[in-house]
Amino acid sequence: MCAASDSPSRPIETFIFLDLEATGLPPSRPKIAELCLFAVTRHALENPQYSDLYSKQIPLFPRLVDKLCVCIDPRKPFTPTASSITGLSNEEFSRNKRQSFNIHVLHMITAFFGRQCPPICLVAHNGSGYDFPLLKAELATLGIAGLDEIYCADTLRAMKALDSKNSQPHQYPCQQASQFGRKKKYSLCDLYYQFYKVYPQNSHSAEGDVVTLIRVFQQRALDLICWMDSNARPFNTVGAMYKENERYASYS
């Protein structure tokens, strides 16, 4: 696999799994309502523990994990769908007097990163399409252009790339769909189901989705780590989802 020219020059040491809940989807110019980061080392992902040492089928969730979860008053109305799937509402944020995406959130994020061994890679499912550009847009509202020396990688892209590299979609114990010519589904929920045969808990809460993402990642950790070493890109190259004072903006 060829390394992208701006991928990390040495192996990633820390994977920070990220999920954001927000007021809606583009083009509604969403605002973040919940941010969750779980930092897991390469070592922990490459050397999982198992409850059943003999079958080695289901890796235990990593024990040494730094966690940061923050609720953030979006100061923008949730779309009905976003409110319904997340269980979040503007009224509850007001009643609980939560703060907006302010300088304290930035300090929490940078202090969290400061405790991790570099190179650091942010990992999110559909991160390139949603979480990374949205975080970039919110940071820009604080006058922050980027996060130095932080890489990012999208598990949605990675899983698709790994499957197309193997030409045959990965065969999962419970997934027979490909054998019948049906298209494999790559949503976080569907991937979790394919691996674990049950649907994940706490979907559409930032922390619940990060836990689900890590469990999915653990099932193909060695391949995903290798792909990310070659294909992670600097967070600073991500375009913002929108610019605060522009009506329309594009992002990559």
181 Rama class: left (phi>0) / alpha (psi -120 to 50) / beta: left
Pattern 198-217, Mg ion, x by CB under 5 A: -----------x--------
Nearer to ligand DCM, 42 or 215 (CB): 215
CA dist., res. 85 & res. 82, Å (int)? 5
Smaller CB separation from Mg ion, 12 or 18: 18
The residue among 204 and 243 lying less far from ligand DCM, judged by its C-beta, is 204
In sequence order, the 6+-apart residues with CB closer than 8 A to the CB of 202 are: 208, 209, 211, 212
**Quick one: 79 or 178, whose CB is closer to ligand DCM?**
79
Q: Left (φ > 0), alpha (ψ -120 to 50) or beta: where does 169 sit?
A: beta
To the nearest whole angstrom, how small is the minimum distance from the Cβ of residue 129 to Mg ion? 10
Residue 163 Cβ, how far from Mg ion at the closest point, in Å? Answer: 20
The structure tokens 């990220």 sit at 18
Which residue's beta carbon is nearest to the bound Mg ion?
209
By CB under 5 A, name the one of 12, 16, 19, 74 that touches Mg ion.
19
Smallest distance, ligand DCM to C-beta of residue 20, A: 6
32 forms beta bridges with 22
3-class SS shares of the chain: helix, strand, coil, % to 5:
35, 15, 50
Active site residues: 204
Q: Which residues bind ligand DCM (CB under 6 A)?
A: 19, 21-22, 24-25, 79, 81-82, 85-86, 204, 209
Q: How far is the CB of 14 from Mg ion (least distance, A)?
A: 20
In eight-state DSSP terms, residue 91 is H
Which residues of the shown chain bind Mg ion in the complex (CB under 5 A)? Answer: 19, 209
